């Protein structure tokens, strides 16, 4: 079973989503988008929590980056879009949290959207 949750829907200023339950998810993917770009950029980040009260920055996103097999996966804490575009990050499958919040930090302009795709079984 899978679920697609809208975290941010075309927001036009720096915004943090509400808490999204990802408990029991086997896989978590963050898809992000910047639209209506004129100038500036959007930085997408996330915080995670095991108790719903204390949140910490998640810095182990696996990014869709081309590299040699010997280099392993590339991990990041944030991604920046400086033009219209879309991308995705995958949460390390060895990590598990109860909640996640997504933040889009705007510089200048644009609309910003993000979705959490969670897989509850394999």
Question: Rounded to whole angstroms, how far apart are CA atoms 115 and 73?
Answer: 22
At 67-77, the pLDDT tens digits run 766 677 889 99
Cβ contacts of residue 56 below 8 Å, gap of 6+? 47, 48, 49
pTM check: above 0.75: yes
Listing DSSP states for 20-56 in one string gives EE-TT-SEEEEEEEEES-SSEEEEEEEEEESSSS--E
At 77-119, the pLDDT tens digits run 999 999 999 999 999 999 999 999 999 999 999 999 999 999 9
Question: Rounded to whole angstroms, how far apart are CA atoms 99 and 51?
Answer: 8
């Amino acid at each position: 079973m899978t679920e697609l949750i809208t975290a941010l829907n075309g927001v036009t200023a720096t915004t943090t989503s509400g808490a999204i339950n990802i408990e029991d998810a086997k896989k978590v993917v963050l898809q992000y988008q910047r639209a209506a770009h004129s100038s500036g950029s959007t930085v997408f980040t996330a915080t995670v929590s095991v108790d719903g009260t204390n949140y910490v920055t998640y810095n182990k996103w696996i990014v869709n980056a081309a590299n040699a097999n010997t280099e392993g996966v590339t991990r990041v804490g944030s991604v920046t879009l400086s033009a219209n575009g879309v991308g995705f990050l995958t949460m390390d499958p060895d990590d598990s949290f109860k909640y996640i919040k997504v933040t889009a930090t705007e510089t200048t302009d644009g609309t910003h959207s993000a979705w959490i795709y969670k897989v509850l079984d394999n």
